[in-house]
């Protein structure tokens, strides 16, 4: 399965403290909005999202249609096709994309240890 670019979405207590910490590790802000309590940071190929007050657990995130630098890919597997394949493999989904829609959509599943996995297509 081609899941798309990978990042970790971190639930943080203090956005600025976390941003400062990750900048010391070489991450640079590439997106987000501190006024909306979220930032996206990158260190080479590694991407993390910092989210204050938006969700309880850290989330493994995949973005179909993007490469690791957030650039659009010409060839990618649509989230609706991915969720059909996930279901076919016997994995239940916690939330699903509307199969009749096109474009941006997401689905979510949980691994055996309770870690949420978000497949979030932005185009």
pLDDT computed for residue 32 by the predictor = 96
DSSP class per residue in 66-115: B-TTSPBPSS---HHHHHHHHHHTT---SB---TT--SSEEEEEE-TTS-
pLDDT computed for residue 93 by the predictor = 98
pLDDT computed for residue 35 by the predictor = 98
Instruction: Read off the pTM.
Output: 0.90
Instruction: Place 44 in a pLDDT band, splitting at 50, 70 and 90.
Output: very high
Q: Are 17 and 34 in contact (CB under 8 A)?
A: no
Taken in order of first residue, the domains within the chain and their CATH numbers are: 5-121 (3.10.180.10)
In 18-104, DSSP assigns E strands to: 28-33, 38-43, 46-52, 59-63
Residue 41 to residue 107: CA distance in whole angstroms: 23
* H or E element that contains 8: strand 5-12
Instruction: Place 81 in a pLDDT band, splitting at 50, 70 and 90.
Output: very high
Residue 102 to residue 79: CA distance in whole angstroms: 9
């Amino acid at each position: 399965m081609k899941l798309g670019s990978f990042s970790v979405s971190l639930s943080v207590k203090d956005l600025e403290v976390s941003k400062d910490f990750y900048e010391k590790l070489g991450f640079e802000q590439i997106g987000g909005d501190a006024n909306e309590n979220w930032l996206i940071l990158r260190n080479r190929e590694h991407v993390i999202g910092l989210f204050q007050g938006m969700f309880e657990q850290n989330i493994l995130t995949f973005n179909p249609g993007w490469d690791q630098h957030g650039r659009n890919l010409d060839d990618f597997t649509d989230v609706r096709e991915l969720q059909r394949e996930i279901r076919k493999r016997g994995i239940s989904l916690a939330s699903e994309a509307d199969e009749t829609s096109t474009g941006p959509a997401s689905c979510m599943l949980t691994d055996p240890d309770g870690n949420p996995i978000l497949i979030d297509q932005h185009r």
